[in-house]
Each structure stands twice: as C-alpha cells, then as structure tokens.
Amino acid sequence: MRSITNNLGIVIFKMQIDDTFLDLSNLNRLVIPSTNIHLLIAGRTGSGKTRATLFLIAKSVLQNPNADFYFADFKSGGDYRFALNSGHLIDMQSAIDNACYALSARQAGLPDHYPYVVVLDEYPSFILSLDSKERKVYQSKLATLLNLGRAFEIHVWVVTQRPGAELFANGSRDNFNCRILMGTPSPETRRMMLGDDISDVSADWLNNNVGQGLIYRDGVGINHIAVPQLNWQKLNSFLKNSFKK
C-alpha cells in the first residue's frame, strides 16, 4: 500500500503541486479533475504527454490518498521507474486484465469502491504488437472498461501519439470525459480529440511548445493550458515515495 512520507522534500513538493495547469488565456489556474475521469492524452512524441500525466498522477495521489494506481508503459523508457518493484508498474496486458477483474468484482457486489486508475502509456503500440485475435480481445476489454468503469470508480488514462477511433472499439472513445492535447498536433489529431468543438478554438491556441496544449473537460469545454513549471526530480521522488511497497 502507498505511504506518503512526510520529509521536508515532500512538503516542499506539495506546495509546488498546489499549482495546477495554467490557463494561458487569462493566467488563472484551472481546477483540474482528480481521479473521477477517463483521461485521453495525445500529442506528438516529445510534446510533454508523459510529463503532463506524471503531474496529474501526483496531483491525484495528493487529492485521493486511497486511490489505487497501476501503470503500464509500453515504451519502457523509464518514465515510470518510480513504481518499479512496487507492484504498481505492470505490463499492459496485466494492467487491462486486472482492471477488468476489479470491474467484475465490483459489479458482483464487492464493496471496494476506492478509485482504481489504470494508466496506459503508448497504448496503440501495445495494440499493434498483438495478433489480430488478441487485438480484438484487448480492444474489447478496454471498451468495457471505458463504457462501464466510471460507475464503479474504475478509470482509464490512455496516453497516445494518435488517438484514432479504430483503437477504441464500439465508439468507446466517446467515454473520455477529459482530453488533453499536448504541443502542436496535426489537424487530424485535433479533430480526433476535439471533434466539432475544435471550431471554438482560436488559431493562436493551436501552435504550442512542449508542455503546453489544450484541455477539454465535459461540461466545461476547451482551455489553453501550460503544465506548471515543476522540479521534475522532486516530482519523481514524491511519486517514488508514494508508491513504495
């Protein structure tokens, strides 16, 4: 189980993380969702998707100390090394299987309803690595989680370069009630992420640096954002402490 150690570094880090995404149009700080979302994060390689995700993980851990996070990183580039050997960093297949198992258990009446969040970084590469039969199986499992999960506090965060509808069976992509588009994506990716809402976005919101982008929240609409400036080493230590055995 996670324990949050109260050493000085973490106290200082907590102060930093009181910052949230900066709304670039009025320089206000946004109230960002905690765990009660299915989250889709898209953008080109190097646009800051994983960093934005790590920030949101830390933020959610602080807001929901009893949330249970599982991470799968198909690129295995080390971004989630903070959870190594903690039982929280697992392969993508197990991450999806376990979340489905948790969903079935809760549907069958298990009273555990703490937030259960499964973070799938580079999900499409996982899907493409499967043979066509397995691919269908896992796309269908993910669709089930997206369609039914939220009612049982089971949440999916997908990080991807391209958020093509073909990756999400039966229109299940529509269940992502929070979407973040980092950097300067192609018009096609913008359309996939934001659909018709893209017509509300002014042209100067579309060319973003690393760590900047757009957020869409159901019921709120689109904002132009920057991930706060953080000490990423401290964020990493904070996460390491949060997920140590």
Ligand X SMILES: Nc1ncnc2c1ncn2[C@@H]1O[C@H](COP(=O)(O)OP(=O)(O)O)[C@@H](O)[C@H]1O
Give the interface with Mg ion as residue ranges (CB under 5 A): 50
Tokens 């369609």 locate to 147
Residue 210 interacting partner from Mg ion, ligand X, none (CB closer than 5 to 8 Å by kind):
ligand X
Fill in the amino acid letter for 90.
I
Indicate which single residue of 10, 21, 32, 47 sits in contact with ligand X (rule: CB under 6 A): 47
Minimum distance between the CB of residue 81 and ligand X, rounded to whole angstroms? 13
Count the site residues for ligand X by CB under 6 A: 12
- Specify burial of residue 184 (Cβ count, 10 A radius: 0-12, 13-18, 19+): middle
* Contacts of 140 by beta carbon, 8 Å cutoff, 6+ apart: 169
The order of strands in the sheet holding 212-217 is 22-23, 221-226, 212-217, 178-182, 39-42, 154-160, 116-121, 68-73
Site for ligand X in 210-229 (CB under 6 A): 210-211, 227
Nearer to ligand X, 46 or 87 (CB): 46
Nearer to ligand X, 159 or 201 (CB): 159
Residue 45 in the binding site for ligand X (CB under 6 A):
yes
Residue 38 interacting partner from Mg ion, ligand X, none (CB closer than 5 to 8 Å by kind):
none
Indicate which single residue of 51, 234, 240, 244 sits in contact with ligand X (rule: CB under 6 A): 51
Residue nearest to Mg ion (CB): 50
Read off the tokens for 115. Answer: 């937030």
E strand residue ranges, 6-139: 22-23, 39-42, 68-73, 116-121
What is the torsional sign of CA 152, 79, 24, 11? positive
The residue range among 7-15, 38-46, 66-74, 85-93 that interacts with ligand X, by the rule CB under 6 A, is 38-46
Backbone angles phi, psi at 111, to 5 degrees: -75, -5
Residue 99 in the binding site for ligand X (CB under 6 A):
no
Residue 125 in the binding site for ligand X (CB under 6 A):
no
Residue 242 interacting partner from ligand X, Mg ion, none (CB closer than 5 to 8 Å by kind):
none
Q: What kind and span of H or E run contains 155?
A: strand 154-160
DSSP state at residue 207:
S
Tokens 């499992």 locate to 141
Nearer to ligand X, 86 or 208 (CB): 208
Indicate which single residue of 50, 139, 223, 241 sits in contact with ligand X (rule: CB under 6 A): 50
Which 3 state secondary structure label does DSSP give 13?
A: helix
Minimum distance between the CB of residue 168 and Mg ion, rounded to whole angstroms? 19
Residues in contact with ligand X by CB under 6 A are 43, 45-51, 182, 210-211, 227
